[in-house]
Amino acid sequence: MKIAIIGVGNMGGAVCEGLFNKGMDAHYQITASDASMEKLEMLKQRFEKLEITTDNYKAAQGADLVIVAVKPWLVKPVVGELHMSENQIYISIAAGVDFAQLQSFTGLEHQPMFRVIPNTAISDQQSMTLICKCNNTPEQEALVTSLFACMGQVLYIPESKMAAGTAIASCGIAYALKYIEACIQAGIELGLTAKEARQLTNQTLIGATTLLNEHGEHPAVEIEKVCTPGGITIKGINQLEHSGFTSAVINAMKASK
């Protein structure tokens, strides 16, 4: 089975890395296309079995799955030059470009399509990937699910919820990283080295998400366990609220929708 990845920028490149790092090249013939030969050659140096080309049409021809991972404003011209058929599964990784638009770009009313929004952790098999579907068979859905489930968790949602899900899972990884960056900066100000602060922060976040995943509790329950009466944690929590932490996070998510 053949996969074409059209566009190997941050997201397309991360998908390509994720597939090879998971050993999916043993099951699929993977071809990457991009306008930048430099980007393609960098990937080729890491993954010898990767086929590369600057010709998008050539990459898409004969592919069973065509993953288009270009900027939203480039989707229309790029898709127009692919000349796909209804036998091919079209996977779009472009926020804000809906199925109605995608169908108008391809001119194929019944082509199986999936809108997929991963986050950049897909390169290390830790993505939270959102998927919505159109014109697909159960077999095609199973194929796409298995492809992205090997690179993290997947969640199918209706297209109407795609923008909200993107704000939390795709944009949200940047907000989580911003929190980590702030913790590291605070640690340095408090006298830790950058390396010490980074290790402490990273593992603390891993611990927090593990608690929630394993116990299934609401975050408030786990927060309460740490906030002893008169303790230092509740003082910090209250300072976060005085500084508008919760509102800032909510507003960031809403701004990204």
pLDDT digits over 207-218, tens only?
A: 999 999 999 999
Percent of the chain at pLDDT exceeding 90: 95
| Domain boundaries of the chain, sorted by first residue | 2-159, 172-256
Look at the chain and count its residues.
257
Q: For residues 170-186, give the mean pLDDT.
A: 96
Residues 6+ positions from 45 with CB-CB distance below 8 Å: none
Against a cut of 0.85, is the pTM above it? yes
pLDDT digits over 8-64, tens only?
A: 999 999 999 999 989 888 889 999 999 999 999 999 999 999 999 999 999 999 999
CATH of domain 172-256: 1.10.3730.10
pLDDT score for 63 = 96
Task: State the CATH architecture for 2-159.
Answer: 3-Layer(aba) Sandwich (3.40)
pLDDT digits over 60-105, tens only?
A: 999 999 999 999 999 999 999 999 999 999 999 999 999 999 999 9
pLDDT score for 26 = 86
The span from the CA of 92 to the CA of 100, in Å, is 12
What letter represents residue 14's amino acid? A
Task: Report the mean per-residue pLDDT for the chain.
Answer: 95
pLDDT score for 12 = 94
pLDDT score for 200 = 98
Q: In the chain, what is the straight-line distance between the N-terminal and C-terminal CA atoms, in Å?
A: 35
Topology agreement, domain 2-159 and domain 172-256: no
Percent of the chain at pLDDT exceeding 70: 100
